[in-house]
Amino acid sequence: MITRRKFIKNVAIGTAAVSAGGAFPTFSAKSYKNIMGSNEKIRMGAIGVNSRGSALAAGFARQKGCEIAYVCDVDSRAMNKCIATIEELTGTKPKGEKDIRNLLALKDLDAVFIATPEHWHAPAALMAMKAGKHVYLEKPTSHNPAENEILMEAAKKYKVIVTTGMQRRSWTNVINAIQEVKEGAIGNVYFGKAWYANNRPPIGKGKIVAVPEWLDWELWQGPAPRVPHYKDNFLHYNWHWFYNWGTGESGNNAVHFIDLLRWGMDLTYPTTVNSSGGRYCYDDDWEFPDTQIINFEFGDDKLITWEGRSCNGRFIEDSSAGAAFYGDKGTLVIGGGNAYKIYDPENKIIKEVTSNLEFKPGDLINPAQQLDGFHFSNFLNGIKENIPLNADINAGCISSTLAQLGNISQRTKKTLTTDPDNGHILNDKDALKLWSRTYEKGWEMKL
């Protein structure tokens, strides 16, 4: 059995080795597989492989003892491209399957990763758990808070291993930074700030067009209520900015750094949530804010905020994304990558930890290829050896709920009062309508 301490030690050794030789980008598949994992083979299905999913498929294929046996996508181009990539990488050709329901019925499938559009995240994960498959679920874990509650219950009920794509919880220097916060390196931490900045272009006003021949549009929509027409600005990435399918920039990126703040400050659910912002930069079909500030209060003694700027990429603390912890004895800053700095109360750097493992801001598909292998390994070892997961379903669901509460506050233009035990919205019928969603008939989520 591998303890968490041994796991962190082993990861640290792996980090040093990769930093010295630039191993992840240049090793052959055979050499890569010798870095981590055990000898047992896990047959995995890749669900959703157009962008981020293609990177996950390649990353898992490089892990020792893991085989990408199936590739599932409603976009035939994406599916065929991913199959070819995995065959080139490993010498073994995965089978393709368009319909997730057929995939999950296969008895020779052990686990899946889910990197679909967000409206599919929770329904697909629940279906996989019911089928007895272990699940790696990309962030956010769901489209809405009610789905998070279902997922946390489902993981207990179906007794499978479920981890979430909060991969920074497996990055060695981030682990060490959080430990420093918890051990009092900057004293009592009362405020945390997270941020994300980018320069995203407008998505325009969509035109009604024929559904492309390579797309099963009905299956792509799946659990979401149907829209009357297919438009040319829905796919692929732009679905993030529509209420019916996405969760905006907060669900897309805030969850990572809200999660770091919660982790370091030992926080779960807030007592009040307030969001301000709007779609300020362009007049197009984008429904979520492009500029947003969310405040989360935890009783009378803790506050965390998230600042999102989708259309102005000016850095904060020399990074396009990150989290800062403010205490009565100093400040600790984690940027987008595997590094951190500690400042004393006079703003002098007293410690700086760097890393040669690269994080690529603005890379929508694979910003942390060198680092994510540690997170994949943790999931696979959780299956094989029952080691603790660094980012289990509860961690991912709670952080996703916070981001979604921010969106609910934004859409209702109200400050929400919430239950610190479960995040439930108190005494607000309008806001409660956004706690869950309406499903297309036949696709309802049921435990």
Tens digit of pLDDT for each residue in 336-353? 999 999 999 999 999 999
Q: Same domain, yes or no, for 189 and 70?
A: no
Element (H, E) at 262: helix 255-265
Q: Same domain, yes or no, for 20 and 68?
A: yes
- Closest alpha carbon to 382 in 38, 151, 52, 90: 38
Look at residue 356 in the predicted model and tell me its pLDDT.
Answer: 76
Which pLDDT tens digit goes with each residue over 258-291? 999 999 999 999 999 999 999 999 999 999 999 9
Residue 365 has pLDDT above 70, yes or no: no
- Cβ atoms of 355 and 337 within 8 Å: the answer is yes
Residue 368 has pLDDT above 60, yes or no: no
Residue 25 has pLDDT above 70, yes or no: no
Q: Does residue 13 lie in a domain region?
A: yes
- Cβ atoms of 391 and 170 within 8 Å: the answer is yes
Side chain identity at residue 117, one-letter code = P
Residue 134 has pLDDT above 60, yes or no: yes
* Weakest mean pLDDT among 26-40, 214-228, 262-276, 370-384: 26-40
Q: Does residue 261 lie in a domain region?
A: yes
Q: Does residue 63 lie in a domain region?
A: yes
Give me the CATH number covering residue 310: 3.30.360.10
Spatial separation of the C-alpha atoms in residues 444 and 292, rounded to whole Å: 31
82: its two tokens: 């991913």
- Cβ atoms of 242 and 287 within 8 Å: the answer is yes
Which pLDDT tens digit goes with each residue over 153-189? 999 999 999 999 999 999 999 999 999 999 999 999 9
Spatial separation of the C-alpha atoms in residues 386 and 394, rounded to whole Å: 17
Q: Does residue 370 lie in a domain region?
A: no
Look at residue 76 in the predicted model and tell me its pLDDT.
Answer: 98
Q: Same domain, yes or no, for 119 and 185?
A: no
Look at residue 381 in the predicted model and tell me its pLDDT.
Answer: 96
For residue 415, name the pLDDT band (cuts at 50, 70, 90): very high
Give the 3-state secondary structure of residue 222. Answer: coil
Give me the CATH number covering residue 159: 3.40.50.720
Look at residue 371 in the predicted model and tell me its pLDDT.
Answer: 83
- How would you list the strands of the sheet with 42-47, edge to edge? 95-97, 66-72, 42-47, 111-114, 134-137, 162-164
Q: Same domain, yes or no, for 347 and 296?
A: yes
Which pLDDT tens digit goes with each residue over 217-240? 999 999 999 999 999 999 999 999
Look at residue 330 in the predicted model and tell me its pLDDT.
Answer: 98
Identify the residue whose tokens are 């020399």: 318
Q: Residue range 124-149: average pLDDT?
A: 98
Q: Residue range 377-403: average pLDDT?
A: 97
Q: Same domain, yes or no, for 152 and 35?
A: yes
Spatial separation of the C-alpha atoms in residues 96 and 111, rounded to whole Å: 16
For residue 210, name the pLDDT band (cuts at 50, 70, 90): very high
Q: Same domain, yes or no, for 253 and 283?
A: yes
236: its two tokens: 């692929």
Mean pLDDT computed over every residue of the chain:
90
Q: Which residue range forms the structural domain that includes residue 251? A: 175-204+231-359+403-432
Q: Same domain, yes or no, for 142 and 184?
A: no
Strand partners, 42: 66
Residue 420 has pLDDT above 70, yes or no: yes
Q: What percent of the chain has pLDDT over 70?
A: 88
Give the 3-state secondary structure of residue 312. Answer: coil
Can you spell out the DSSP letters for 407-443? HHHHHHT-PEEB-TTT--B-S-HHHHTTSS----TT-
Q: Same domain, yes or no, for 344 and 308?
A: yes
Spatial separation of the C-alpha atoms in residues 335 and 326, rounded to whole Å: 14
Q: Same domain, yes or no, for 35 and 162?
A: yes
Q: Does residue 221 lie in a domain region?
A: no
Q: Same domain, yes or no, for 92 and 188?
A: no
Domain tally, the chain: 2
Spatial separation of the C-alpha atoms in residues 281 and 44, rounded to whole Å: 42
Residue 359 has pLDDT above 70, yes or no: no
Q: Same domain, yes or no, for 179 and 155?
A: no
Angle of CA points 310, 315, 320, to nearest 5°? 65
